[in-house]
A and B are shown apart, each in its own frame.
Chain A
Amino acid sequence: MALTLTKGNEAIAEGAIHAGCRFYFGYPITPQNDIPEYLAREMPKIGGTFIQAESEIASINMVLGAAAAGARVMTSSSGPGVSLMQEGISYLAGSELPALVVYISRIGPGLGGIAPTQGDYKQVTSGGGHGDYYTIVLAPASVQEMFSLTIKAFELADKYRNPALLLCDAILGQMKEPVEIGPRPDFKDISLPDKPWALNGNAGRKSNLIKSLYLGDGEMEVQNWMLFDKYNKMKQEDTYFETTDVDDAELLVVAFGSCSRMAQTGIDMAREQGMKVGMLRPISLFPFPEKAVAELSARIPKVLVVEMNTGQMYKDVKVNLDRAADIHLYARPGGGLPTPDDVLEEIKKIY
């Protein structure tokens, strides 16, 4: 299949169209504006809906409405915007509604800046809003994956009736790579799941109700255990990661997203110098590849976490680490990108 040079943000937008998403609600914010701009142009051509909402609060609630109505639906945003969406994301989880939120991170806190960061890792992997819930979080590391994981995220959202997030950053969003994107499928050829719970009028059935309020004695406890079971099922069936060069490795680098690309080059340089270094790249940040960390660190005694924040994924690696393994962190808060040379230096220090 022919490769096309595509920008990360546009690969996501095109992935959404391929996934059968015909509803987009969003509000402009850098560095993700290519997504709404692409969909504002393309949606009308394919019978889809694009609304520029009055805020991210409105966007996520329009998403909630469309999801309740049974549609495959998405929004996209960045730092301040996703913070505003957190109440809605909590309601999506509490009401068990599938939807996709694309998160193209920019450096925070506050208005921060528009440079890339992985500082939103803990926000998205811990649910983000109020309550004991989680969202599915996928973290692509290439433009190709931005396309394919967008589709995957929609599928997982439907499978679990749970919101899914795609966590990328300003580098991935703006970078262009050759990608393989097939012809757009016809909407009728896209297989979308049945949603008998959706709101579309009660003709021929009992009324459907979608809510997150449970005031009855003990009802919320039941609800929370039900969600807990769902998250466990995600852990068992839908944890994704990639390993490279781990078979003979004596040092394991753990990195995700754009940072894993820099780290990989650093690892390749280390290998050229004779150091046996491998890589674990979490693709699903929730569910986190806990078992992979445990098993690999039981075998590979030194672990180096490289991330563009002050050590957020580090904690998830640490709690799953084999007791005998040593853990190190190379942290660069967003805005200052780690270079392959930086990673190589770190590897040399602890190898």
Chain B
Amino acid sequence: MSENITPATGPKKIMGRPKCLNDVTFHFCPGCNHGNVHKMIGEAIDEYGIQDRTIGVAGVGCGVFLYNYVDVDVLEAPHGRACAEATGINRVHPDKIIFTYQGDGDLAAIGLAETVHTANRGENITVIFVNNTVYGMTGGQMAPTTLLGQKSTTSPYGREFMGDGYPIKMCEMLATLEGTAFVARVACDTPKNLMTAKKAIKKAFKMQIDQMGFSFVEILSTCPTNWGMTPQQAYKRVAAEMIPYFPLGIFKERTTADYM
């Protein structure tokens, strides 16, 4: 048996744009992680070959333009309500893969009730929650996840628990609900954390494909623009301030589905 093997000449391509991401430039600010998260979602969709049966629901925030980047059917939900929209879609198309993409204001403030009850119903959807500790799109106001002492445009003297309350830990809260199947918190600040983040996002989609119920990934993210930092400083802040308060890890991982 003879084969012509042509030795590789140029550099070998080891990564690229996921097939289901449109060939356009992200509009996000330098050092923002929304682009990374979009890419990881795209990779998960490609790897499971589910592009033609995936439906995304965009929350209102910097991630609202999801449809410009991820080439799947997309619904733009009212601010905070993405989980309710995803519920409606899921009940009509239980065979489709449905994910929401939400910021911390969207998911943990105005949309908290929808988030909690959708999780509690064990809705078979995946929620991608980007926690950057501020309201990015509206100019850096205080979010439910803003850390104590953190300055924002509406907590100019720093968040104080007397009056503003404590930053909400969504993963810890949702993990207590019987309806959740997978709850994890990851970060994007280092290559290692990025690899873990990608694994968690993939796992969340896999959980849904396997009909395990509600899967939730919180991604600790950066907002250099509204934090008043350079991208480098912002990445350092994730490790120095965010991870100590919002510990990384898997908070819940169900091994059998509810119906079993």
Q: Verify B67–A211 contact, CB threshold 8 A.
A: yes
A331 at the interface (CB under 8 A from B): no
Tell yes or no: B238 within 8 A of A by CB: no
B85 within 8 A of A: yes
Contact between B86 and A202, CB atoms less than 8 A apart: no
Is the pair B87, A62 in contact by a Cβ cutoff of 8 Å?
yes
Q: Considering the chains assembled together, what is the distance between the CA atoms of A25 and B89 in angstroms?
A: 12
- Residue numbers in B under 8 Å from A71 (CB-CB): 88, 92
Residue among B67, B71, B74, B92 with max Cβ neighbours from chain A (10 Å): B92
**Contacting pair B55 A199 (CB below 8 A):** yes
B residues 122-142 with Cβ under 8 Å of A? none
Residues of chain A within 8 A (CB-CB) of B85 are 61-62, 64-65, 68
Q: Is the CB of A67 within 8 A of B88?
A: yes
Q: Is B253 an interface residue (CB 8 A)?
A: no
Contact B91 A207 (CB under 8 A): no
- CB pair A69–B88 under 8 Å, yes or no, is yes
Docked complex: A43-98 residues within 8 A CB-CB of B? 49, 51, 53-55, 57-59, 61-71, 73, 87-88, 91, 95
Chain B residues with Cβ below 8 Å from A222 are: none
- Select the stretch in B3-11, B35-43, B75-83, B212-220 that faces chain A: B75-83
Residues of chain B with a CB closer than 8 A to A23's CB: 88, 91-92
Q: How extensive is the interface on chain A, given as a class?
A: 35 or more
Is B72 an interface residue, CB under 8 A from the partner? yes
How many A-B pairs with Cβ below 8 Å?
A: 127
Query: Chain A residues near B86 (CB, 8 Å)?
Result: 65
Q: Are A53 and B64 in contact (CB under 8 A)?
A: no
Nearest CB in chain B to that of A206: its residue: B71
- What's the Cα separation between A70 and B85 when bound, in Å? 13
Of chain A, the residue at the smallest CB distance from B52 is: A203
Q: How far is the CA of A69 from the CA of B86 in the complex (A)?
A: 10
Q: Are B92 and A66 in contact (CB under 8 A)?
A: yes
Within 8 A of B (CB), among A240-274: none
> Do B84 and A65 touch (CB < 8 A)?
yes
Q: Mask for B72-112, Cβ within 8 A of A = 1, else 0?
A: 11111110010011111111110010000000000000000
A67-B53 Cα distance, complex, nearest whole Å: 17
| B148 interface residue per 8 A CB criterion | no
With an 8 A cutoff between CB atoms, is B160 at the interface? no
Cβ–Cβ contact A202 & B51, under 8 A: yes
Most chain B C-beta atoms within 10 Å of own C-beta, residue among A73, A88, A202? A202
Verify B84–A66 contact, CB threshold 8 A: no
Chain B residues with Cβ below 8 Å from A66 are 88-89, 91-92
Task: Evaluate contact between B54 and A61: CB separation under 8 angstroms.
Answer: no
For window 233-260 of B, CB contacts with A under 8 Å fall at none
- Distance of A211 Cα from B58 Cα, bound (Å): 9
Determine whether B117 belongs to the interface, using a CB cutoff of 8 Å to chain A: yes
A25-55 near B? 1/0 per residue, CB < 8 Å: 1000000000000000000000001010111
Separation of A261 and B54 alpha carbons in the complex (Å): 51
Whether B53 pairs with A207 at a CB distance below 8 angstroms is no
A58-B81, A69-B89, A201-B73 known; A209 vs B67 contact (CB < 8 Å): yes
Picked from A59, A87, A199, A203, the residue with its CB within 8 Å of the CB of B75 is A199
Chain A residues lying within 8 Å of B84, measured Cβ to Cβ, are: 53, 57-59, 61-62, 64-65
For A302-320 the 0/1 string (1 means CB < 8 A from B) is: 0000000000000000000
Is there an interface contact between B113 and A201, defined as CB atoms closer than 8 Å? no
Given A53-B84, A201-B53, decide whether A68 and B117 contact each other with a Cβ distance below 8 A: no
A–B Cβ pairs within 8 angstroms, 16 of them = A54-B114, A57-B113, A62-B84, A63-B88, A67-B88, A68-B85, A68-B88, A88-B81, A91-B78, A199-B89, A201-B72, A201-B93, A207-B74, A209-B67, A209-B76, A210-B74
Q: Which 7 A-B pairs have the closest CB atoms?
A: A65-B88, A61-B84, A65-B85, A66-B88, A211-B76, A203-B52, A69-B92
Interface on A for B, CB 8 Å cutoff?
Answer: 23, 25, 49, 51, 53-55, 57-59, 61-71, 73, 87-88, 91, 95, 199-204, 207-213
